[in-house]
Amino acid sequence: MFSKILIANRGEIAVRIIKTCRRMGISTVQVYSEADADSLAVEMANESVFIGPAPAAESYLVADKIIAAVRETGAEAVHPGFGFLSENAEFARRLRDEGIAFIGPNPEAIEAMGDKITSKKFAADAGVSTVPGHMGLIETPEEAVRIAAEIGYPVMIKASAGGGGKGIRVAHSDADMAEGFAAVKAEARNAFGDDRVFLEKFIVSPRHIEIQVLGDKHGHVVHLFERECSIQRRNQKVIEEAPSPLLDEATRMAMGAQAVALAKAVNYDSAGTVEFVAGQDKSFYFLEMNTRIQVEHPVTELITGVDLIEQMIRSAAGEPLAFKQDDLSIHGWAIESRIYAEDPYRGFLPSIGRLSRYRKPDEGERADGTVVRNDSGVREGDEISMFYDPMIAKLCVWGPDRATAIAGMAVALEETHLEGVGQNLPFLSAVMDQTRFQSGELATSYIADEFPDGFHGIEPDPFQLDVMVASAAMMHAFERARTDAPDRFDWTVLIDGTTHDVRLDLTGEGLGIRYDDGRVVLMADADWRPGLPQLTATLDRRPFTVEIKRRADGYDIRHRAARKRVRVLSPQVAGFYAGLPERKAPDTAKMILSPMPGLMVSVDVEPGQDIKAGQAVAVIEAMKMQNILRAERDATVKSVLVKAGDSVAADDVLIEFA
C-alpha cells in the first residue's frame, strides 16, 4: 500500500480524498494555486505544494507541475479527483512511464472510453445500445445543420472532451444548430483545450441514470447499482439519488450487466461510471463512460457501505477486489443536493464572493432514522472564486426508504445557512417539497417543466404562515422583554398587506399564540437570540428552522422556499403600512445589465445599430460557462459601455438603448 499520495485537484473532492487517506494511514500532499493558498484542503493535507496562478490552465491542468510536485515530495501515487487531468490519458501514461501510480484506470481504458466519439463507436461494436447520432467530427456550422436535418430535431450538440455539463446545447431548429455549434466549440476550446463536437438525437422526456462500476488489475469488475441524476439545469446535475425510482430489478440488472461488460471489454481497473439515457418506459441507451470518480459518488457509498475512494486506492496499489457482485446489495435510499454559489432568483446565475456565514447541519445518525453527510471544501470566511466550479457543498441524506430520505433532506436544507454569496438552498427546498418529485416522476426536463418562468420562491402554506407569524411575534416579544417584561403582548403582524391580530401569552409550556379567528398555536423549544441568522423551534409539535434577517421595521423570514417580509406593529401603525404601495424596482427596459460577475467574451453590436428582439448582443463568461445575452425587444443601440476582455460585476450596465 502507498505511504504518500499527491492530490491533483482542489475543493471538496480533495477534502474527501484526504479523509479516506487519513483513515487508511496514508500521508497526503495537496497542490494548490494562488486562489487556493488558504483552502481547507491545504490546511488538512500533511504537505502542500504551490503550482501557479489561479487559472486552471496555468496550474491544475499543467502536467509538468503536478509531476514536479510528486518528485519534490516523494509521493508514490496521484489521485486526480474529477475534472482537470482526471480523464487525460496522456497524463496517466506519463505517470506510468515515470513509475508513479495513477489512482484511476489505465491509459488505454481512458482512451477507449474517455473520448465520447470513440466510446460510442466502441460501445456499438461491443453490442451496447446507443443513442442515434453522428459520431464523426464536424467542422462547420453548415455541415452541422445538414447532419442535424438527417438525424431529426431536436438534436444535442456535445463537446467530445466535455464533462460536468459543460459544452452541451440542444438545437430545435437550423438556427439553433448554427448558433449552438459555434458556442459549444468555443466552450470546449476554452474549458477542455479540445473543440471537437459531435451530434446525437435528443430523447424527449428522458431520464439520466448511471451505473457505478469498480474494477481491479486482475480482471474483476462489479457494479454498485445505479444513481438517478435527472434533476439537471443547463445539463449540470443538481439533485442525485440512489437507487432510481424508475427501475425495477430486471432493468437494474440489465443495465448493470451492460456496464460491467463494457468495463471488462476495456480492462477497466478503477472506479468509473457508465451513463445511460432512459425512457419513461425503462428503455435505455448508452451515453458515455466517465473514467473517474463522479461528483455524486456519496449516494452510492451510502446505500452500499463501500468507500469508493478507498477502493480506487487499493486497485491502483494492485490489490484485488475484496468482494464479488453477489456480496453487494442496496440498503435504503440516499439523496444528494448540490449546494451552489448561484442566485436562483436571477436565473441561477453564478455568484462569487466571501462566505461570511456558513452553518452546516450536524452530520451523522439522527433520531428520525436518517443519516446526514456534508461534503464541502470551504469554510466560513472562504472566498468563492470565479476561476472554478461554484459548488459549496454536497449535502447527502440517507434514509431507510425514499420518503424518509426526502423528508430528512428537507430538514437538513433548513438547517444549512449561508451568507455572502447567492446560493440555491431555497430552490433545493422547493424541489424536496414538490409532489411530483416525491412521486418519483422525474425527467431531465424537470426544472424547465416545473419552473418555466424561472424560480421566484413559493407562497407559504398554512403551516409556514403560522411559522412566520409566530416567529416574528416571538422575536419581537423577546426584544421588547429586554426593556419591559409584561406577561402578554398584543400586536398586529403584517405580511403582504394582510394583517394578523396576534396575542402572545408566555406560558410554562412555551408561547401560546392566538390570532385571527382565535386559533391558538403553541411554539416551544425556541432557540434564538438577537443577532442570530436562524431561529429553531417547534410549532404544534413540528420542528422547524427559519432564516432571519432583521430589518428596521421587521424581519425577512425564509422557511424552505417561502420567503416574506414580516412586520410586527401596533394596530394603528399597521393600518398605515397596509395602505402603503410597495417600492417598485427601477426601470431597466432600456438597458442590458450584466447578469453576473464575469469576463466579456464579445460585444456584437455598436451605437446606432438597429436590433431585433431575441438577437444576440454580447457573450459573457463566468465559471467556465459562456452565456449569450439577447435583446428583449426591438431597439436602437444608444451606447456600448464595455468591450471584449473587460471584467464586469453583476448589474453593471453593458448596453443602453435609445
Phi, psi (rounded to 5 degrees) for 107: -60, -35
Q: Return the C-alpha cell found at 626.
A: 459562456
* Residues in a beta bridge with 551: 554
Q: What is the side-by-side strand order in the sheet with 101-102? A: 47-52, 27-33, 4-7, 77-79, 101-102
How long a stretch of residues is the chain?
Answer: 658
Q: Residue holding cell 469508493?
A: 308
Please pick, among 275, 288, 342, 621, the residue that the annotation labels catalytic: 288
Q: Comparing C-alpha atoms, which of 566, 569, 486 is closest to residue 478?
A: 486
* Euclidean distance between CA atoms 224 and 207, whole angstroms: 19
Measuring CA to CA, how many Å separate 279 from each of 209, 269, 442?
Answer: 10, 30, 11
* Euclidean distance between CA atoms 269 and 213, whole angstroms: 9
Residue 463 host element (H or E):
helix 462-481
Q: Comparing C-alpha atoms, which of 229, 133, 52, 159 is closest to residue 625?
A: 159
C-alpha 333: how far from chain center: 19
Which amino acid is it at 317? A
* Euclidean distance between CA atoms 493 and 501, whole angstroms: 6
Supply the DSSP symbol for 4: E
Supply the DSSP symbol for 35: G
Q: Return the C-alpha cell found at 120.
A: 460510442
User: For the residues of 130-190, what is the DSSP string, one character each?
Assistant: B--EE-S---SHHHHHHHHHHH-SSEEEEEEEEETTEEEEEESSHHHHHHHHHHHHHHHHH
Q: Return the C-alpha cell found at 265.
A: 471489454
Q: Return the C-alpha cell found at 434.
A: 414538490
Question: Phi-psi bin for 648: left (phi > 0), alpha (psi -120 to 50), beta?
Answer: beta
Q: Where are the beta strands (DSSP E) in 297-370?
A: 333-340, 342-343, 349-350, 353-354, 357-359, 364-365
Supply the DSSP symbol for 458: B
Phi, psi (rounded to 5 degrees) for 88: -100, 105
* Euclidean distance between CA atoms 505 and 522, whole angstroms: 10
Which amino acid is it at 61? L
Is residue 365 annotated as a catalytic residue, yes or no?
no
Phi, psi (rounded to 5 degrees) for 165: 80, 5
First to last CA, the chain: 69
* Euclidean distance between CA atoms 531 and 467, whole angstroms: 19
Looking at the chain, the number of H-run helices and the number of E-run strands are 17, 40
The catalytic site residues sit at: 288
